[in-house]
Copies of this chain bind each other. A is one copy, B any other.
Amino acid sequence: MPDSRPIGVFDSGVGGLTVARALMDLLPDERILYFGDTARGPYGPRPLAQVRAFTREIVDHLAARDTKLVVAACNTATAAAVESSDPLEFGVPVVGVIAPAVSAAVRATRNGRIGVIGTVGTISSGAYDRAVERVAPDVKLVAQACPRFVELVETGRTTDPGVLEVAAEYLAPLRAADVDTLILGCTHYPLLTGVLSYVMGPDVVLVSSAEETARRVFATLVDNDLLAHAPEAEHRFIASGDPDAFAALAGRFLGPRLVDVEVQPLRAASPQA
């Protein structure tokens, strides 16, 4: 029996759309209900108790809209309220973004040295250090804050020489530490995959928390018989702030649209051999 209720996804802004998109890719028959708390984000600089209160409020809102599962597509909310030592209890299952990425990274590393990059708030919170310590105490984690990446992504700069230069500077300590696996510990960073891959070199496996979280949700839905079957699923996007600003950024995060298709005749195919 398909379960047609939507999957809730929330973030303090637009970054969580990379998670929403990974879900749409892996689970095209699911409806997504996305909540971007753009009026109050980013959460990084806010006190822990406030982040917990905001998380509670938004999860309750999404649960009231009959979601079957909610993804906290926000590193700060995940660390403060979902995967913390004192997780909040909710009326709906809630999946965070840190544990799935850490789990994938500790499995992917060959030399036992993993890097993680994120915002200043996420890195200084120590959330990734604790998560790695919990599942693989022998693995060495090298953490690096990348303060300018979010601004670069939101202004559409993901490939130019200036971005490459900034990335080379941020990532130098990780290269020097010889990490062979790199966790993208901020939902904005999948848009920098090209630059990150180029700077780290081909030997380094990149682990996207967006993709790994989507895989976790996929497995959770299958294991609990919660899959929907809604071809041409309609997604909904909610912002707590200016919807036009949200829509402008969201287009970049959700990817390209199909434009016109033109016909180009070629020679007719001869019969197949």
Q: Which residues of A contact B (CB under 8 A)?
A: 21, 24-29, 35, 37, 39-40, 45-47, 50, 57-58, 61, 103-104, 107-108, 110, 156, 158-161, 164, 190-191, 193-194, 197-198, 202-203, 205, 211, 214-215, 218-219, 222, 227, 229, 231, 234-240, 243-244, 246-247, 250-252, 254-270, 272-273
Contacts and interface: CB of A to CB of B under 8 A. Distances in A.
Copies in the complex: 2
16 contacts: A21-B255, A24-B256, A25-B255, A28-B156, A28-B159, A47-B273, A58-B266, A108-B108, A108-B205, A193-B215, A197-B218, A202-B215, A236-B262, A237-B259, A239-B262, A240-B263
Given A237-B260, A257-B257, A197 B222 contact: no
A64 to B, nearest CB: 12
Nearest to A222: B198
B269 A40 contact: yes
A110 B29 CA distance: 34
Contacts of A268: 39
A247 to B, nearest CB: 5
A35 B25 CA distance: 23
B159 A227 contact: yes
A44 to B, nearest CB: 10
A268 B39 CA distance: 8
A133 to B, nearest CB: 19
A235 B257 CA distance: 9
Contacts of A266: 37, 39-40, 57-58, 240
B57 A267 contact: yes
A247 B266 CA distance: 18
Given A47-B273, A261-B237, A254 B254 contact: no
Given A108-B108, A203-B107, A259 B272 contact: no
A250 B255 contact: no
B247 A258 contact: yes
Nearest to A265: B240
Contact of A263 (B37, B107, B239, B273): B239
B243 A262 contact: yes
Contacts of A254: 255-258
B50 A270 contact: yes
Nearest to A2: B160
Given A46-B273, A103-B202, A273-B47, A191 B57 contact: no
